Amino acid sequence: MCGIIGYVGNRNAPDVIIQGLRYLEYRGYDSSGIAVWSGEKFDLVKTKGRIADLEKELLKTPVSGHLAIGHTRWATHGCPADRNAHPFVSYNSRFAVVHNGIIENYLEIKDELQKKGVVFTSETDSEVIAHLLESLDHGDVKRAVLDATARLKGAYAIGIICADDPDVLYAVRKDNPLVVGVTESDGFICSDINSIQKFLTEVVVLENGQVAKVERGRVELFDFDGNDVEAKFIALGSLEESDRKDFECYMDKEIKEIPTALANAIATYRNGAFNRIDKKYLRRIRRINVVACGTALHAGLYGERMIKKYLKKIDVTSEAASEFRYGDPKVDDRTLTITVSQSGETADTLVCQNMVRNLGGKTLTICNVETSSMVRSSDYALFTSAGPEVAVASTKAYNCQCLVFLLFVLDLARLRGEIDEFAYKNLQADIDALPEIAARTLKVAPQVARFANKNYTRKSVFYIGRGLDYCTAMEGSLKLKEISYIHCEAYPAGELKHGTLALIEEGVLVIALVTQKELVTKSASGLEEVKSRGANVLAITPFYDRPAIAAVSDYRIKLPDVNEDLYPIISVIPTQLLAYYIARAKGCDIDKPRNLAKSVTVE
C-alpha cells in the first residue's frame, strides 16, 4: 500500500521524484523519503509525515543528481517514524531500495544478516532487502537482484539503485503493481501510471514474476530465472488530471462529479462492453460468485440482489475477498466470478481472481482502471469510467460500480430470456435519467450540512435498512467511520430486536434508509422500536410525507422518485454527503483519514 517511484535521466531527479510522490500519496502518507545518487554517494532525505513535510526537509537539505528513488509509506512493519521511512541504504552504502508489500520471511533473513554483523536501524521488513542485496553482490548487480529475489517470500514491488551501476534503475514485481517507461533521455519506474504519465506516451506494465532493468531510452525485462522477456509497451491516453482548486477537498469534488461519472459509465458500457463477453459462455453459467473488499463489496452485495431478482436460474453468493480465498469456494467451468475494485490492485481480490482462474472458472472484473492488474488478468472486464478518484473514501466509483453491475445483470437476463423486452427497455430509460436525478439529489447538500453541524459530536451512530436499503446502510456506515472516526454500525432493520436494541439509548442517532415501497410499513416498525427507546431518527426516503415515517422521524431528507431498483445508486449520495460534512465539522483530514490508504496492495 506504499507508493514507489524511480528516475534516471537528464532532468534533476529529485524534482521528478517529488512530482511523482504527490500523485502517489494516496497510497500511504505515514512517511516519505528520497535517495539521490550525487556522483559519489547516496544522499538520503526522509521524514515522518506527508510529502509536504519531505519537501520542507529538502529545502533544508537540498539534493540533486540524475538518479533517484522515492517512497511514500503506509506503515505495516514498524510505526510511522523517520527511522522506518524509506528508502533504505545497505550497510556498505552501495544499494538503495524502496519497497511496497510485505516480506514474509524477513525475520529469518534479518537474523542471518545480523549474525554476519549487519546492523539494522529500522523496525521494517523492507530494510532486509537492501542489506541482502549488498551481501549477495559479487560484481554483477543484475545477478544480485535475481539472487535476492529468489530469497524473498511474500508480495512486493521493489525499486533498486546501485552505486556500481549509476545509470540504471532496477524494478522487481511479485504480486504488487509496477510500471516502467522510457524516453530517449529518461527512464522511470513507479507504482502508478499517473505518477509518470505526463512524461510518457507508452509504458510497460510488469507482469508478475518479472525484473526490469531501466536505462535512458531502454528497458530490458527478465523473469526470476534471468531469462529474457519481451517488453510489451502499451500506449497511454491523455492524462486525466484531478485538480481540486475549486473544491474544499477531493472528496467534495468527487461527490459533486457523481452525475458526470454516471453519464460516462453509461456511455462506456453501451459502447459494446457487453458484446465483448463470450455469449455462448454467458448462456451456460449456473453460478456467480461476487468477490470484493470494503466499498466495492457493498456494490457487490447490490449486484447480488439484482442477480437474484433478474437471473432466477443462477445461484449467486457474495463474499469478502479475504474470506472467499479460504472458504473452499465452489468453482467450475460454469462458474463466473465477478470481482469489483476501484483501483484494480486490491490484493485480496486479485489473489481470489487468480485462484478462481486456476480452478477452471472464468472471471469478470468491474474496475475503474483499464491498465490495472485485475483487468489484465481477468477473462472479461467492464469499466466504470468514474474518472480519477483521489480521496481515500470512495464515492463516485461506488455509484458507478453499482450502475455497471446492474447494466450487466440486465443484459445477461435479456440474453438468457429472463427479462421481457418491455421491462428491459423501461429500466434502460430509467437508467438514462440517473445522471439528472443524481444532480437533483445533490441539492440536499445544504440541508445535510446543517444536520451535520448539529450532530458531529455524536459518539455512536447506527444505519438501518431493509432489502436493497441494507446494502446502502452498510456503505453509509463505512463512509462515516472512515473519515469522521465515529463508531457506526449498519444493521438490517428487522434484526434490531435480535440483539442490537440493547445498544439503543437516549440520544443515539439512527439513520434509516427507506426506499423500497413494499417495505415502508415494516421499516416504520423498526423506527418505532428505536424511537421508543430514546433514539434520534434521521430518515432518508422518497416517502417524505408518509404518516408512518413522519411520525417516527426527527429529521427527514427527501429523495427524488426513481425506479426502486436504482435507489441504491441515488440514496447513497446523502450518506456520502453526511460523512463528508460531519468530518468537516470535526476538523478531520477528509481526503487522507488516519490509518488508511486508497489502494490496498497487501493482504
Q: How far apart are CA 219 and CA 242, in angstroms?
A: 30
pTM above 0.85, yes or no: yes
Which has the minimum average pLDDT: 67-71, 561-565, 598-602? 598-602
80-99 per-position pLDDT tens digit: 888 999 999 999 999 999 99
CATH level 3 topology of 246-432 = Rossmann fold (3.40.50)
459 is catalytic: no
Tell me: the pLDDT tens digits for 329-350? 889 999 999 999 999 988 899 9
Q: Which residues contact 360 (CB under 8 A, 6 or more apart)?
A: 331, 332, 333
Return the higher-pLDDT residue of 174 and 235.
174
Please report the pLDDT score of residue 334 as a whole number.
Answer: 95
Residues 450-454, mean pLDDT to the nearest whole number: 97
DSSP H stretches of helix in 117-158 = 127-136, 141-151
Contact in structure between 120 and 131 (CB atoms under 8 Å): yes
Phi, psi for residue 486 in degrees, rounded to 5: -85, 135
Q: Higher confidence at residue 496 or residue 145?
A: 145
pLDDT digits (tens, 9 = 90+) for 281-327: 999 999 999 999 999 999 999 999 999 999 999 999 999 999 998 88
- The reply to whether 3-235 and 246-432 are identical in fold is no
**Is 598 in the active site?**
yes
Q: How many of the other CB atoms lie within 10 Å of CB of 562?
A: 21
Question: C-alpha grid cell for residue 430?
Answer: 430509467
Question: Could you tell me the pLDDT band of residue 204, with boundaries at 50, 70 and 90?
Answer: very high
Q: Helices 434-441 & 421-432, crossing angle to 10 degrees?
A: 40
Q: How far is CA 141 from the centre of its chain?
A: 34
Check residue 596 and give left, alpha or beta (phi > 0: left; psi -120 to 50: alpha): beta
Tens digit of each residue's pLDDT (9 = 90 or more) over 247-273: 999 999 999 999 999 999 999 999 999
Gap between the Cα atoms of 82 and 90, Å rounded: 17
Mean pLDDT, the chain, as a whole number? 92
Distance CA 294, CA 38 (A): 43
Give pLDDT, residue 238.
59
**Cβ neighbours of 273 (radius 10 Å):** 19
Query: Per-residue pLDDT averaged across 50-63, rounded?
Result: 93
Q: Which of 603, 574, 598 is nearest to 72 (CA)?
A: 598
Is the pLDDT confidence value at 241 over 60? no
Q: Are 349 and 375 in contact (CB under 8 A)?
A: no
What are the grid coordinates assigned to 553, written together? Answer: 422521524
Rounded average pLDDT over 122-149: 95
Would you identify the CATH topology of the domain 3-235? Glutamine Phosphoribosylpyrophosphate, subunit 1, domain 1 (3.60.20)
d(CA 189, CA 178): 7
> What pLDDT, in 10s, does the model give residues 506-543?
778 999 999 988 877 777 777 777 776 778 889 999 98
What pLDDT score was predicted for residue 508? 86
Q: At 201, list the grid cell.
A: 506516451
The pLDDT of residue 601 is: 56
Query: Is the Cβ–Cβ distance between 208 and 345 less than 8 Å?
Result: no
Q: Tell me the CA distances in angstroms from 125 to 64, 67, 155, 178, 256, one per residue in order.
A: 28, 24, 12, 19, 41
pLDDT value at residue 176: 86
In this structure, which topology does domain 444-592 adopt according to CATH?
Rossmann fold (3.40.50)
The answer to which of 159-173, 236-250, 274-288, 299-313 has the lowest mean pLDDT is: 236-250
Q: What is the pLDDT of residues 5-39, one digit of tens each?
A: 999 999 999 999 999 998 888 777 889 999 999 99
Domain ranges of the chain: 3-235, 246-432, 444-592
pLDDT-derived band at 600, boundaries 50, 70, 90? low
* Residue closest to 290 by CA, chosen among 363, 182, 390: 363
Catalytic residue among 2, 249, 400, 488: 2
Cell readout for 76 is 505495516
Q: Which tens digit of pLDDT belongs to each residue from 361-410?
A: 999 999 999 888 899 899 999 999 999 898 999 999 999 999 999 999 99
Answer whether residue 603 shows pLDDT above 60.
no
